């Protein structure tokens, strides 16, 4: 596993970490034991970065609860844990009103309790289109002063939103989480350059495009999970899914070997000059092991160039 400096935090993190959205039953039912096995496999294979959120899981918070049940104090001390505030109860009609600092503190303290930890290394604002993030920044500053959060940032795909958050935080913002993959290369235009300029730790979600870059899915696939069910025929995101499959075929032609799809997709992202780290999810131990292996090397320069030459929308 390659380790690199995580922006201005100065922390050494594995280039491949574990995204735990998958561990909360939204991507299909998992038992507590299966979730534990996945987390332990991640740690055993060199991952020291766990990403979660207060809202991940059915019910809300299941991902964090399973983290709390799994990690021992000695494991916790070797990990960088990132969580996000902003969507608690949104799916169930009971969102927490963000009316002041205490609302953010309430959510932060709840994250700590579910994960049975005394601190969260990075807390992110989970409202990616927010126009005025002042309440989050003030709440995060307070959580840092209380000693419960080490640093903070935002999860967003919008450069304008990121710039506004960074400026309102007076440059304290240290981490950004963004969707970036071989299928979605929009961050390459300006977003990643800004992150480099501000020395932000870049956390990449969706590096496998919700599984499309695994090569396992096609136009006949039917999705039973609650995350991708809108990709099914007749649903709202069907056209987007079919466009992703078209892009996948172009990528396949360049790579030439489906068995290398996942490895290549992950290595493409971590090979960007801005030094991102990726957090693919997993529902099986075998997937964790494969993802970790991808973090052992960067992509060969010739293949990186060929994939890069395909164009920003592919």
- Residue 269: both structure tokens together: 């992202």
pLDDT at 264 over 60: yes
The 149-155 sheet, strands edge to edge: 18-19, 49-51, 80-85, 120-125, 149-155, 175-179, 201-205, 277-278
Question: Which pLDDT tens digit goes with each residue over 41-81?
Answer: 999 999 999 999 999 999 999 999 999 999 999 999 999 99
Interatomic CA distance for residues 314 and 306, integer angstroms: 12
Taking residues 80-101, report their average pLDDT. Answer: 96
What pLDDT, in 10s, does the model give residues 4-29?
999 999 999 999 999 999 999 999 99
Question: Which domains are seen in the chain, by residue range?
Answer: 3-214+262-308 (3.20.20.100)
- The mean pLDDT of the chain is 96
How many of the other CB atoms lie within 10 Å of CB of 311?
9
pLDDT at 310: 83
* Residue 311, pLDDT score: 65
Contact call for residues 111 and 64 (beta carbons, < 8 A) = yes
DSSP of 18-30, one letter per residue? EE-GGGGTTTS--
pTM recorded for the entire structure: 0.96
**Percent of the chain at pLDDT exceeding 70:** 99
Is the pLDDT assigned to residue 314 strictly greater than 90? no
Which band of pLDDT confidence, cut at 50, 70 and 90, is reported for residue 281? very high
**Cβ neighbours of 253 (radius 10 Å):** 9
Each residue's pLDDT tens digit, 220-250: 999 999 999 999 999 999 999 999 999 999 9
Taking alpha carbons only, the member of 218, 185, 221 closest to residue 311 is 185
pLDDT score of 42: 98
Task: Report whether pLDDT(312) > 60.
Answer: no
Chain segment 124-137, per-residue pLDDT in tens: 999 999 999 999 99
pLDDT at 313 over 60: no
């Amino acid at each position: 596993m390659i380790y690199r400096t995580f922006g201005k935090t100065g922390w050494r993190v594995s280039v491949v970490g574990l995204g735990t959205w998958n561990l909360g039953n939204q991507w299909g039912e998992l038992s507590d034991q299966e979730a534990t096995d996945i987390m332990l496999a991640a740690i055993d294979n060199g991952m020291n970065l766990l990403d979660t959120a207060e809202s991940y899981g059915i019910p809300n918070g299941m991902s964090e609860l399973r983290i709390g049940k799994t990690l021992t104090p000695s494991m916790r001390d070797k990990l960088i844990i990132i969580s996000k505030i902003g969507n608690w109860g949104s799916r169930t009609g009971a969102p927490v009103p963000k009316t002041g600092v205490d609302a953010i503190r309430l959510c932060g303290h709840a994250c700590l309790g579910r994960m049975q930890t005394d601190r969260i290394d990075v807390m992110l604002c989970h409202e990616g289109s927010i126009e005025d993030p002042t309440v989050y920044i003030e709440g995060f500053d307070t959580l840092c002063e209380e000693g419960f959060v080490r640093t903070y940032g935002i999860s967003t795909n919008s450069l304008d939103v990121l710039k506004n958050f960074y400026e309102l935080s007076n440059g304290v913002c240290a981490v950004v989480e963004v969707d970036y993959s071989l299928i979605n290369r929009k961050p390459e235009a300006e977003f990643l350059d800004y992150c480099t300029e501000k020395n932000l730790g870049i956390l990449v979600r969706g590096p496998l495009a919700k599984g499309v870059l695994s090569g396992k899915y096609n136009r006949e696939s039917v999705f039973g999970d609650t995350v991708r069910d809108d990709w099914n025929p007749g649903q709202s995101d069907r056209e987007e899914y079919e466009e992703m499959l078209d892009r996948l075929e172009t990528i396949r032609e360049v790579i030439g070997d489906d068995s290398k799809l996942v490895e290549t997709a992950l290595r493409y992202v971590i090979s960007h000059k801005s030094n991102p780290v990726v957090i693919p999810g997993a529902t099986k131990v075998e997937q964790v092991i494969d993802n970790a292996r991808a973090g052992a090397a960067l992509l060969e320069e010739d293949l990186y160039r060929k994939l890069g030459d395909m164009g920003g929308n592919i």
